[in-house]
Amino acid sequence: MPTPIARAAAYLERLEADRLAAIDISEQKAKEAKLIAARQEGFRAAMEILAGAISADNRELQPDKTDGRRQRRDIKLLIQRELSFSGEAMTSAQIAKAIGYIKALTETALKRLEVGGKVRRHESGCWALVLTGKDQPSGHLAASQEFSSTKIAA
């Protein structure tokens, strides 16, 4: 039979083990809380980025509260975005299909953009975005534009 001192010492050892286990669990929970906070910050940053990058197509989904009509899409902007995203010259029919617009009106908008110096028409009838020096972030994009224009002309 253990003495009262031995039992008290064993009890203190169990208490110490429980205390260390609680500290370990709380450290794990603190790490978990930090990871969750990091995820929240990342998600918030992504939401801010996406909020600034909402395309014109998404604007039409939000009804105009004043008279119940939806807001008009900026077709010139949609054409420029489509040509910049594709990186290749496209026919007016391809552009119209990509932006979901009428071909004849797309051609009208393309001609207006051509007058404004934003796009140009190749001999083959394809349209390409006109890039100025400030628009070209690297030589790679300029090379791809030259390649696509030579590919179409050939």
pLDDT in tens, 4-55: 999 999 999 999 999 999 999 999 999 999 888 888 888 888 888 887 765 5
**Is the pLDDT at 65 greater than 60, yes or no?**
no
DSSP per-residue codes, 75-119: HHHHHHHHHHHH-S-B-HHHHHHHHT--HHHHHHHHHHHHHTTSE
**Is the pLDDT at 140 greater than 60, yes or no?**
no
**Is the pLDDT at 60 greater than 60, yes or no?**
no
> Which two three-digit tokens encode residue 63?
């009804």
pLDDT band for 72, please (50, 70, 90 cuts): confident
